Structure 1
Amino acid sequence: MAKYRWTASDMPSMVGRTVMITGANGGVGAATAAASARAGAHVVLAVRSVQRGREAARAMSGNTEVRELDLADLSSISSFAQSWDDPLDILINNAGVAGVHGAQTKDGFDLQFGTNHLGHFALTNLLLPHISDRVVTVASGAHKAGEIHFDDLALRQRKYGFAASYGQSKLANLLFSLELQRRLHQAGSNVRSLAAHPGYAATGLGTKGQPKVLVAAANLAGRIFAQTSEHGALPSLFAATQDLPGASYIGPDGRGELRGSPTLVGRSSSASDLTTARRLWEVSEELTGVCFGLDK
């Protein structure tokens, strides 16, 4: 019997539901937004560039809304959250940056750690009182090479490398999703925290500012080995719509999790460390000034 392969056409109806997706103006985020809108959801594209967000939304069928959000700026996140006063069923923390050597957020954090983790940490907790169903945080197989350098989160005291910075941020995503689920359960909330990763999707992530020869090589590898953004969106869509336990991690089922149909996948031992997850949460609260969103 042929193996069943889950696709976006298998999504349940999303009519009457509101889904917010960060970084939804291109790549996997745009594909996630488009599929959610086709399924009937009211989709909020939370994006840094409103113009690009509107261009992406015009290419989608269904009910969409574009709102400005800069995850590399805590004041932008705070303003965004304060302006949101509607029910929110699903938040998909999709946005991410990669390969920007030594760049910083407006608050002085390493751009990758500050955007990929701290920005979503602050956004999720500020919006949590409005969320009724689940939070999906997009991680990466790169988390397996990551390590949380609590004494040097900006990686300024060691040789800065793309793998170290990006891996740290993606490991942080998984530890955040794990600790968020623990806190939600402890608070008696029905909201679930899950994580997903797109595998190897041809999105251009990590090529900005890189030498032309490396960009050309990445583009060639993408054409040969990568799956489309539409396929890369499937793990996020699966995590957002299927009946899964909290702290589940979804990724592609084939070729070393680089491509394939969405399924439950494993995480590294570092990404399963509850002590590290709790410590990272506490440090993130200190750095952002944002606490657990359901604290009374």
Structure 2
Amino acid sequence: MAKWTTADIPDQTGRTAVITGANTGLGFEMAAALAAKGAHVVLAVRNLDKGKAAADRIISMAPNATVALQQLDLGSLAGIRAAAAEIKSAYPRIDLLINNAGVMYTSKQTTSDGFELQFGTNHLGHFALTGLLLDALLPVPDSRVVTVSSIGHRIRAGIHFDDLNLEHDYDRVAAYGQSKLSNILFTYELQRRLAAAGESTIAVAAHPGNSATELGRHLSAVAEVVAMRLLSQSAAMGALPTLRAATDPETAGGQYYGPRGLGGGRGYPALASSSKQSHDPELARRLWEVSEELTGVTYSID
């Protein structure tokens, strides 16, 4: 398809979609597009005031939209467990989980559980949330887990099993790369396990290319202008690969979508290729096991 857009999203009436980080940027665009197509969208956000503003904005754009708020702090395992319990109580059947929220290039910080902030939020938080919600996804035919990665999974990226929190040599670019590589390894391993269990639920990954969002707030002023403005596309365009992964009837488990332009930085969504590392099943299996140990979350399909 030459130019896949939100006009190509099939009718979403009757579907429930949970989107993390849905109050701003890419997540907001995803939520607005799905709500406009009839989905009941749950905005899983850390700040409820900002979430309420986002919900009001979506309804102003699509008066018939149905949206709900759910507080979620991906930097707290206790908070994730509480949020997952509330979501499953309200929505025992979930059609779509979009793991979108994230942080990028932060200074050396930790989550409330002591994990390096980018690895803890971007990967471990979503690993835990997905595992806790999986029982609500499995009974739904063709349900999907879509996890948002980044071009950054190729940049100074590796899984540092001897120092996952990068306590001894912190580098914010390497930390981001590790977290985004983890997102793709997680997706591919989740898909392998779902397929082995004979489930119809699929796991898919996507990346937004270079998109103008608040993720650049931890860059220097000059770098933020260059990377997030001069070289970027809009958040609405950046959301398209994830929306296609989430809704295209032709999407298959284990696929990876991104902008089709040069280097994957800009353009309409198409199938993309991820790094050689991301396709290493042994690396993915080891990361899965470590993630289970660190979060205390095990998956029902295992």
Which residue is 1:30 aligned to?
28
SS in 1 for 2:278: helix
Shift of 1:221: 4.3
How many Å separate the matches in 2 of 1:7 and 1:107? 39
- Change in CA separation of 1:88 and 1:157 when aligned onto 2, cut-off 3 Å: same
Which residue is 1:115 aligned to?
121
Query: Does residue 142 of structure 1 match 2:152?
Result: yes
SS in 1 for 2:182: helix
Question: Residue by residue, what CA displacement relative to the aligned partner does 1:207-243 show, whole Å, maximum 9, x if unpaired?
Answer: 23x5xxx224412543322111100000010000112
Q: How do 1:266-285 and structure 2 match up within 5 A? A: 266-285=273-292
Query: Does residue 70 of structure 1 match 2:68?
Result: no
How many Å separate the matches in 1 of 2:192 and 2:74? 24
Which residue is 2:136 aligned to?
130
Question: Residue by residue, what CA displacement relative to the aligned partner does 1:236-283 show, whole Å, maximum 9, x if unpaired?
Answer: 100001121211000000021001010001011100000000000000
How many Å separate the matches in 1 of 2:167 and 2:223? 29
Q: Is the 8 A contact 2:216 2:228 kept in 1?
A: no
Which residue is 2:300 aligned to?
293
SS in 2 for 1:64: strand
SS in 2 for 1:260: coil
How many Å separate the matches in 2 of 1:206 and 1:271? 24
TM-score using structure 1 length: 0.95
How many Å separate the matches in 1 of 2:22 and 2:133? 18
Query: Does residue 47 of structure 1 match 2:45?
Result: yes
The residue identity in structure 2 corresponding to 1:11 is I
Equivalent residue in structure 2 for 1:184, among 194, 206, 209? 194
Which residue is 2:269 aligned to?
262
Number of matched pairs: 288
Q: Is the 8 A contact 1:235 1:263 kept in 2?
A: yes
SS in 1 for 2:264: coil
Shift of 1:286: 0.3
Question: Residue by residue, what CA displacement relative to the aligned partner does 1:24-81 show, whole Å, maximum 9, x if unpaired?
Answer: 0100000000000001100000000011011011111211111100000000010111
The residue identity in structure 1 corresponding to 2:283 is T
How many Å separate the matches in 1 of 2:96 and 2:82? 20
Query: Does residue 235 of structure 1 match 2:241?
Result: yes
How many Å separate the matches in 1 of 2:288 and 2:126? 12
SS in 2 for 1:286: helix
Query: Does residue 193 of structure 1 match 2:199?
Result: no
Equivalent residue in structure 2 for 1:172, among 144, 160, 182? 182
How many Å separate the matches in 2 of 1:216 and 1:261? 27
Question: Residue by residue, what CA displacement relative to the aligned partner does 1:181-215 show, whole Å, maximum 9, x if unpaired?
Answer: 0111111110000000000000031423x5xxx22
Gaps of 5+ in 1: none
Which residue is 1:251 aligned to?
258
Gaps of 5+ in 2: none
SS in 2 for 1:5: coil
Shift of 1:151: 0.6
Query: Does residue 152 of structure 1 match 2:163?
Result: yes
How many Å separate the matches in 2 of 1:221 and 1:294? 40
The residue identity in structure 1 corresponding to 2:45 is V
Q: Is the 8 A contact 1:100 1:206 kept in 2?
A: no
Which residue is 1:14 aligned to?
12
Question: Residue by residue, what CA displacement relative to the aligned partner does 1:112-160 show, whole Å, maximum 9, x if unpaired?
Answer: 00000000000001000101311000000110121000010000122x1
How many Å separate the matches in 1 of 2:79 and 2:222? 34
How many Å separate the matches in 2 of 1:52 and 1:32? 16
How many Å separate the matches in 2 of 1:222 and 1:206? 6
TM-score using structure 2 length: 0.93
Overall identity of the aligned pairs, in % = 51
How many Å separate the matches in 1 of 2:291 and 2:276? 21
Q: Is the 8 A contact 1:181 1:246 kept in 2?
A: yes
Q: Is the 8 A contact 2:108 2:172 kept in 1?
A: no
